[in-house]
Structure 1
Amino acid sequence: MMSWMKCCVFPLVLLCMWQLQEGAHACTCIYDHPQTQFCQSDVAIKAKVVAKKAVGGKYDNEIKYDIKLIKILKGPNRPFDTICTASSSAACGVTLNKGVQYYITGKLKPDGSLYVSSCNSPLPWKSSHNILVERYRMGCDCKINRCTAVLCDITGPTECLWTDWMTGNWVNNEHDKQCACIKRRDGSCSWYQEAASPKKGYLKG
Structure 2
Amino acid sequence: MNKVPVILFFSVCVFFVSEACKCAVRHPQRIFCQSDYVIQGRILREQSVDSWRKRYEVKVQENFKNRYADPVRGSKVWIYTASSSPACGVMFDIGNKYVIAGSRDMKGKLEASSCSWNVKVSDLSNFQRQALRNMSYKRNCACKIRGCPHARCEKSDGCLVPYTNSNCYHRNALCKQSGNTCSWTPNIC
Percentage of matched positions with identical amino acids = 30
Task: State the structure with bigger RCO (CA 8 A, min sep 6), 1 or 2.
Answer: 2
What is the deviation of 1:130?
Answer: 4.4
Which residue of structure 2 lines up, in the alignment, with residue 192 of structure 1?
Answer: 185
Q: Distance in 1 between matches of 2:48 and 2:118?
A: 19
- Residue identity opposite 1:135 in structure 2: S
SS in 2 for 1:97: coil
Q: Distance in 1 between matches of 2:188 and 2:144?
A: 15
- Residue identity opposite 2:117 in structure 1: S
SS in 2 for 1:182: strand
Q: Which has the higher helix share?
A: 1
| Counterparts of residues 1-205 of structure 1 (less than 5 Å) | 19=17, 22-23=18-19, 26-56=20-50, 61-75=52-66, 77-79=69-71, 81-86=77-82, 91-125=87-121, 126=124, 128-133=127-132, 134-156=135-157, 159-163=158-162, 165-167=163-165, 170=166, 173-185=167-179, 187-193=180-186, 203-204=187-188
Note if contact 1:190-1:204 (Cα within 8 Å) is conserved in structure 2: no
Q: Distance in 2 between matches of 1:90 and 1:150?
A: 34
Q: What's the TM-score once normalised by structure 1's chain length?
A: 0.72
- Residue identity opposite 2:181 in structure 1: S
What is the deviation of 1:86?
Answer: 4.3
- CA deviations 1:78-101 (Å, max 9, x no partner) are 2451111149x9621111111111
- Residue identity opposite 1:77 in structure 2: A
Count, aligned residues: 169
Note if contact 2:45-2:58 (Cα within 8 Å) is conserved in structure 1: yes
Q: Distance in 1 between matches of 2:144 and 2:82?
A: 29
Q: Which of 1 and 2 has greater Rg?
A: 2
